[in-house]
Structure 1
Amino acid sequence: MTPDLRAAAFGAQPDAAVRVRPGMSAADRWLVAVTLGGQGRYAAAATVLEDLVTAPRVPPAVTAHAAVTLAAHRRQLGGHATARRLDALGLRLATAVRPGPLDADGTDARAARVDALVGLAADAVGSGAVGHAQRLLDAAADAMRGHPAWRPAARLCWVRAELALLRGDAAAAVAPSRTALELATAGGSARHVVKSRIIHAVAGAVAGGDAAAAIAELDAAADHADRAGLLSLVWPARYAAADLSEEAPNGVWTANDSAARTAQRSVNGRPSDAPRRRHAGTATLSVILRRCDPVGRRLMREGLGLPARLPVT
């Protein structure tokens, strides 16, 4: 895999201008799609990923990763059922591949199996299937044992935290979200750091931490994502900050009901209150909607509950 593309997909250059070039390997095309998805360029990413999933002579491990990545993009747009089918395909493909050398970024076949199991667990969280999600996370942890990669381990921690939030046990979400942030920081991935910051801030606030500090951290994470060109993370950070700023008079967070959703998904300016933060998040969603393929647009409107009038131009 090309080092520059690794830096774009899993490193410090998520805003790099990337595209598929003639003669590019299947693995490098996958990295291009990963980068495009982080930038919220879902239509361009889907074109690359769908080709990797269906084209002949693509190495099975790359096909598995492509299916799981497309699942993640569909899930980010609210399409948990669509994502589940793709994650299941990725799991079948990864399980059938003969084990090979392990990769520190988790680009190998065994890591693809972990990613698929984690993706299926995230799909289960999205549908409220708590027990099923836990079993899938346990299977992912077993598959991850002994693997040196930071990336699938961080993703596993994300969904552990999301499941704890879904169960209403925010205190149990704090440790895995902190571990995810540590792993992402050590891995040097701007994208994974930002998402981990979002989940950790939400978990800490809902667990009874300093709400003002959590909101400030979410605003900072949104700014970080904006500077890094990570539109896929700008809007969930803004929405999470808006949710946390709406504390009910009795002291119960309105965010408690939505924390699991906002933390998963896996804006410009500096909004100072909930309506302005939400407006900024919606503005970013409008840009992303324009960058989606027809399937992505449908999933956004249905899965994220976007109003039909939200513009796409």
Structure 2
Amino acid sequence: MTADLRAAAFGAHPGAAVRVRPGMPAADRWLVAVTLGAQGRYAAAAAVLEDLLTAPGTPPAVAAHAAVTLAAHRRQLGGHAAASRLDAMGLRLASAAPHGPPDADGTDALAARVDALVGLAADAVGTGAAGRAQRLLDAADDVVRGHPARRPVVRLGWVRAELALLRGDATAAVAPAEAALDLALASGSVRHVLKSRIVHAVARAVAGADPREVLAELDAAADDADALGLPTILWPARYAAADLAELAPNGVSTANDTAARTADRSVNGRPSDAARRRHAGMATVSVILGRCDPVGRRLMREGLGLGARHPVT
């Protein structure tokens, strides 16, 4: 695997321009797909991943990662059932693959097995199956113990936090979210830091943290995602901020809000109140829909409750 592709997929340059080149090894093609998916280029990523899953020469560990990555993309678009089937495929492939030396970025077969278990747990959380999610997280915890990669453990923290929120225990969600953020910061993955900041902020908000502080953090994470060209992180951050602005008691305002409200003259300005934040999120959704393959587009429309012909602008 080349250093540039690792930096794009799991490092400091998630917005880098990447593409599959003739003769590129399967592992590098997988890194290209990871990067494309993070940039919201889901159709391009799916084409690479589906080729890796069907090509006869794909190493089993790479095929396992391809299945789990495609599952993650389907889940990000709201397709938990579709993701679960792919995560199950990834688990089968990873369990059957030869276990080579562990890799610090988590690109080996054992890390793929952990990723598949965590993905299945996230699928269970998405469908409200808390008990199944807990069992899968426990299994992932057993497998990952002693592995040098931080990335699978960061993902474990996200899903632990989401499971605690599903169970209505917001206080219990804060610790794994904070641990995931600390680990992501240590790993050097800009993308995972941004996702961890959002998970941590949401957990803190539900646990009763100052809404102004949380809103400022969500806005900052959204701005950073926008600057890095990561719409898949931008739109959840905007939606979470809009939800918080709507639900916070007595309303929420910041210094930026005051300035924006007096100059409500440009929809291109920094989002301030809930409606403007949600509008910014929907604009990003529109961009992502245009980059989806037909399956991804259908899943996203269903997940967001959009009609088949509903314009997202």
> What TM-score do you get using the length of structure 2 for normalisation?
0.93
* 1:72-87 matched pairs, under 5 angstroms: 72-87=72-87
Which stretches of structure 1, 4 residues or longer, exceed 6 Å deviation after superposition? none
Q: Distance in 1 between matches of 2:293 and 2:144?
A: 33
Q: Distance in 2 between matches of 1:246 and 1:300?
A: 23
Q: Distance in 2 between matches of 1:115 and 1:84?
A: 12
Shift of 1:307: 4.0
Q: Distance in 1 between matches of 2:306 and 2:53?
A: 29
For residues 33-79 of structure 1, the C-alpha deviation after alignment (integer angstroms, 9 at most, x for no partner) is 00000000000000000000111010000000000000000000000
1:34 aligns with 2:40: no
Shift of 1:306: 2.4
Q: Secondary structure at the match of 1:246?
A: helix
Q: Distance in 1 between matches of 2:268 and 2:27?
A: 33
* 2:114–2:144 contact (8 Å) kept in structure 1: yes
Q: Distance in 1 between matches of 2:152 and 2:248?
A: 36
For residues 164-184 of structure 1, the C-alpha deviation after alignment (integer angstroms, 9 at most, x for no partner) is 011110111111111111111
* 2:283–2:312 contact (8 Å) kept in structure 1: no
* 1:11–1:188 contact (8 Å) kept in structure 2: yes
* 1:149-188 matched pairs, under 5 angstroms: 149-188=149-188
Shift of 1:249: 5.4
Letter aligned with residue 112 of structure 2 = A
Shift of 1:270: 1.8
* 1:170–1:203 contact (8 Å) kept in structure 2: yes
Q: Distance in 2 between matches of 1:171 and 1:307?
A: 36
1:193 corresponds to: 193
Check 1:132–1:4 CA distance in 2 against 1; reply closer, same or farther (3 A cut).
same
2:262 corresponds to: none
Q: Secondary structure at the match of 1:102?
A: coil
Q: Distance in 1 between matches of 2:188 and 2:225?
A: 15
Q: Distance in 1 between matches of 2:135 and 2:211?
A: 32
1:293 corresponds to: 293
Q: Distance in 1 between matches of 2:23 and 2:235?
A: 35
Q: Distance in 2 between matches of 1:206 and 1:30?
A: 36
Q: Distance in 1 between matches of 2:225 and 2:38?
A: 10
Q: Distance in 2 between matches of 1:239 and 1:175?
A: 23
* 1:215–1:245 contact (8 Å) kept in structure 2: yes
Q: Distance in 1 between matches of 2:312 and 2:35?
A: 22
* 1:226–1:268 contact (8 Å) kept in structure 2: no
Check 1:278–1:309 CA distance in 2 against 1; reply closer, same or farther (3 A cut).
farther
Q: Distance in 1 between matches of 2:110 and 2:159?
A: 19
Q: Distance in 2 between matches of 1:185 and 1:249?
A: 32
* 1:200-211 matched pairs, under 5 angstroms: 200-211=200-211
Gaps of 5+ in 2: 252-266
Check 1:269–1:235 CA distance in 2 against 1; reply closer, same or farther (3 A cut).
farther
Gaps of 5+ in 1: 252-266
For residues 246-303 of structure 1, the C-alpha deviation after alignment (integer angstroms, 9 at most, x for no partner) is 126599xxxxxxxxxxxxxxx9742111111001000000000000000011001112
1:103 corresponds to: 103
Q: Distance in 2 between matches of 1:154 and 1:178?
A: 10
Q: Secondary structure at the match of 1:57?
A: coil
Q: Secondary structure at the match of 1:117?
A: helix
Letter aligned with residue 149 of structure 1 = A
For these two proteins, the number of residue pairs brought into alignment is: 298
* 1:130–1:167 contact (8 Å) kept in structure 2: yes
Letter aligned with residue 137 of structure 1 = L
Shift of 1:310: 3.9
Shift of 1:304: 2.4
1:55 corresponds to: 55
Q: Secondary structure at the match of 1:91?
A: helix
Q: Distance in 2 between matches of 1:100 and 1:244?
A: 45
1:259 corresponds to: none
User: Which is higher, the Rg of structure 1 or of structure 2?
Assistant: 2
Letter aligned with residue 144 of structure 1 = V
Q: Distance in 1 between matches of 2:225 and 2:200?
A: 15
Q: Distance in 1 between matches of 2:137 and 2:270?
A: 36
Q: Percent identity?
A: 80
